[in-house]
A = this chain, B = another copy of it.
Amino acid sequence: MNIGQAAQVSGVSAKMIRYYESIGLVPPAGRRDSGYRDYGSADLHRLSFIRRARGLGFSVERIRLLLELWGDTHRSNTEVKAIALTHIDELEERARQLQEMADNLRTLAQACDGDGRPNCPIIQGLEAGGEPACDSARPARH
């Protein structure tokens, strides 16, 4: 199976399949005489695993760990669960940060009539501060 078909079936673009190969996330694909990469069902399985893990927001490096654990029949599910729980925490932390930004900005936006006059509490909030921005996204101060 050519890379294009593998891409369609696995849901990973051909570009990314080559990239994953280049960083060693998937083993080098077999080659035909022509030089074309050739994929079999084990490859597709691995690529689909990667796509699903990416869909859950795992980084490539984390997926590398998951793939090792996947291939290790003697692995303990404790390790896998630990990785998952860590990842859940990180996802939720990022979500919280974004939501906090949105909330802060909404507070400013609610103070703005949006009625066409020049007076604008949003701009004033950015200008004068009162430090409304997300702490964790802000560089350290003094």
Contacts and interface: CB of A to CB of B under 8 A. Distances in A.
Interface of A: 8, 11-13, 45, 48-49, 51-57, 66, 69-70, 73-78, 80-82, 84-85, 87-88, 91-92, 94-96, 98-99, 101-102, 104-106, 108-109, 112-120, 122-123, 125-127, 129, 131-134, 137-142
Contacts of A127: 45, 49, 70
A122 B63 CA distance: 13
Contact of A78 (B74, B76, B114): B114
Contact of A122 (B55, B77, B119): B77
A1 to B, nearest CB: 15
Nearest to A133: B55
Contact of A101 (B13, B73, B91, B123): B91
Highest count of chain B CB atoms <10 Å: which of A95, A104, A132: A95
A12 B51 CA distance: 37
